Structure 1
């Protein structure tokens, strides 16, 4: 293991469509995290900001943007971008600075003010960017991409739209208990089935929205945490930011021109499974040690993929877990007890940080009505465009 750092503070600005600057959201989350940690802003020696590409130049230099908004006080600043994995990269940068002795106290912040509708590539024509190519050449918006995954699961494993709907029902029930969630209303499988088809077989309630929101963490060295009287803090034990391994495609997208799903042999380990494996290996744990997980449910079908990729079950067995209630609150291995993106929507640079906020509150035992009893170990997992891994293991 490379060493642990303490999570002394966690804070969020509630998700929604507020119509204000991402800087406002981020500074609110940062102040909440500082208050939670009992840390004065002047004690922070480094600020790591997760960048947003859709909020102009301040979003490209998020570390400095948030440091300025909080009041210049001499802390070093770093800004990182890794698409949906930006928050995990920011956490990893902060951890590296602490373990290298560069700073005892680091503030990590991610915030976004998302445009309405599907995310489109930012920054103009980029023919060397697979995201741009997917939109311009294939016409495959994100929901179309999610629909391909869902159809593949149906062909390979016999998953049904009713299985996918159960994921939304589960996550909405948890989100209804979370004051930071955008959507705080339970839904039924019938509600999902009655919502509009977006990318067959996925319906509107199968797919996450785009949102405004922010999340922040105060990370410190273990020595500082002890001096600060933190006692037994939540600790980050591993951060995985691995990339794919040749010859698997970066996006793990089926080759729809040549791939006959009905005749496919068992699939090689996908990139997402490599992300989780690297985190487990660094932390010295396995999936059997988990109390809970927060995974990247861009769509209901993708959540089922994550069950398999983080080792909660074998390939093709994800739907069985959700049917049995194993991944619901009160189940054997609760997943997305925050409500997930189903309840929050995407605020891209904030979401991997928000996942760690949820682990922090769960491992402290302060998550209220969505508390997982006796939670001691959790993992987060998501994936950023262009081969960015993202997984964090937190323990107490």
Structure 2
């Protein structure tokens, strides 16, 4: 049994400098209007938490419910790094499938600091993420650069291949009124932008942004009373890595007692979604994947089974993942055009899938879109894959 996406809404991404709840409320009102509902119709609210915005960010469900006006709805809040929005969605989906409510609102929003994200919560010497910042000085851009170097060493990818990802996504983002960056770029502009973490340059790396996203979910019976072209959630995967794999897809030393996992974390995450939905990658019409850097989008294409391992750059060069191609990747413009607003990101991906599957994505519309994948990866083994279909 599936649940139905009845309404979606976004607050445009940018650097607005306002409280995060303003973005969430704007997105929620847009989603309610899209669904044809009033706030008082909502029975359950789930907030995706933001950990950089004080106590209201840790209880996002209550924060959004209060800002919209107490209506007696049940609430929940959750944090799962960059997968927060997807896990919040899964909580609402489970509530509906259990028959405990008919209609739910899921909201995520963020106000972000300038520059890269720093660890939150003080000294945590048992946290590998904290350790890489504190002991190695390995901020996220340095982290992404290691992945890029690995592609160059293993598969022969070049900085020009990475730049081509940015060019592709910027072309799509230029057609998206909710994107922060709406200008097309050239390969030369990317390759001459300032070096940040070799081989990645400034335009290879996504920014930190403010923004909000919201989704109204409901049961099929509730949706039938509203008509229209229905988009359903066919799968939500939030699987964790399998020992001895960490939350990184790095090669492990296998032994008789500790075998190498068959697949890396991101691949296993997406395969679990395919299995739940009963589809394969060849059935996808489009994918929204987590392009924290240009090189990481290429990894995701392989993890999603869009091409064999090591062939993502070739797939990109073929035009298949561009708008107008066989299977566009990040037709929204991706993080390259939006930047990171952590609790809103997975929900924003689902908003894009919904518009595409409804056929209402305007200038970036994917022809005959039927099934879409949204995938994210967060810290400490958090990740998500969502499959939506008509």
Aligned position for 1:54: 52
The CA deviation at 1:138 is 1.8
CA distance in structure 1 between the partners assigned to 2:53 and 2:303 by the alignment: 33
Instruction: State the Cα deviation string for residues 148-187 of structure 1 (Å, max 9, x = none).
Output: 0000000000000000000000000000000000000000
Aligned position for 2:256: none
Match of 1:150 among 148, 151, 173: 148
Aligned position for 1:88: 86
Q: Matches of residues 227-242 of structure 1 in structure 2 within 5 Å?
A: 227=225, 229-242=226-239
Instruction: State the secondary structure of the residue aligned to 2:124.
Output: coil
Structure 1 unaligned regions, length at least 5? 260-265
Maintained 8 Å contact 2:5/2:216: yes
Aligned position for 1:210: 208
The CA deviation at 1:352 is 0.3
The CA deviation at 1:254 is 6.3
Instruction: State the Cα deviation string for residues 115-143 of structure 1 (Å, max 9, x = none).
Output: 00010001111122222111112211000
The CA deviation at 1:389 is 2.1
Aligned position for 1:178: 176
Aligned position for 1:377: 371
CA distance in structure 1 between the partners assigned to 2:127 and 2:218 by the alignment: 36
CA distance in structure 2 between the partners assigned to 1:254 and 1:286 by the alignment: 25
Q: Matches of residues 120-139 of structure 1 in structure 2 within 5 Å?
A: 120-139=118-137
Aligned-residue RMSD, C-alpha: 1.3
The CA deviation at 1:384 is 1.2
Q: Matches of residues 179-328 of structure 1 in structure 2 within 5 Å?
A: 179-227=177-225, 229-253=226-250, 269-328=263-322
Match of 1:337 among 325, 331, 335: 331
Maintained 8 Å contact 1:328/1:334: yes
Instruction: State the Cα deviation string for residues 226-264 of structure 1 (Å, max 9, x = none).
Output: 12x224410001000000001112222468xxx9xxxxx
Instruction: State the secondary structure of the residue aligned to 1:343.
Output: helix
TM-score normalized by structure 1? Answer: 0.95
Q: Extract structure 1 runs of 4+ deviating beyond 4 A.
A: none
Maintained 8 Å contact 2:237/2:270: yes
Maintained 8 Å contact 2:242/2:261: no
CA distance in structure 2 between the partners assigned to 1:242 and 1:268 by the alignment: 15
Aligned position for 1:263: none
Instruction: State the Cα deviation string for residues 27-82 of structure 1 (Å, max 9, x = none).
Output: 00000000000011001000000000000000000000000000001000100000
How many residue pairs get aligned? The number is: 384
CA distance in structure 2 between the partners assigned to 1:141 and 1:202 by the alignment: 13
CA distance in structure 1 between the partners assigned to 2:262 and 2:102 by the alignment: 42
Maintained 8 Å contact 1:275/1:391: yes
Deviates more, 1:379-388 or 1:163-172: 379-388
Maintained 8 Å contact 1:251/1:385: no
Instruction: State the secondary structure of the residue aligned to 2:104.
Output: strand
Deviates more, 1:77-86 or 1:134-143: 134-143
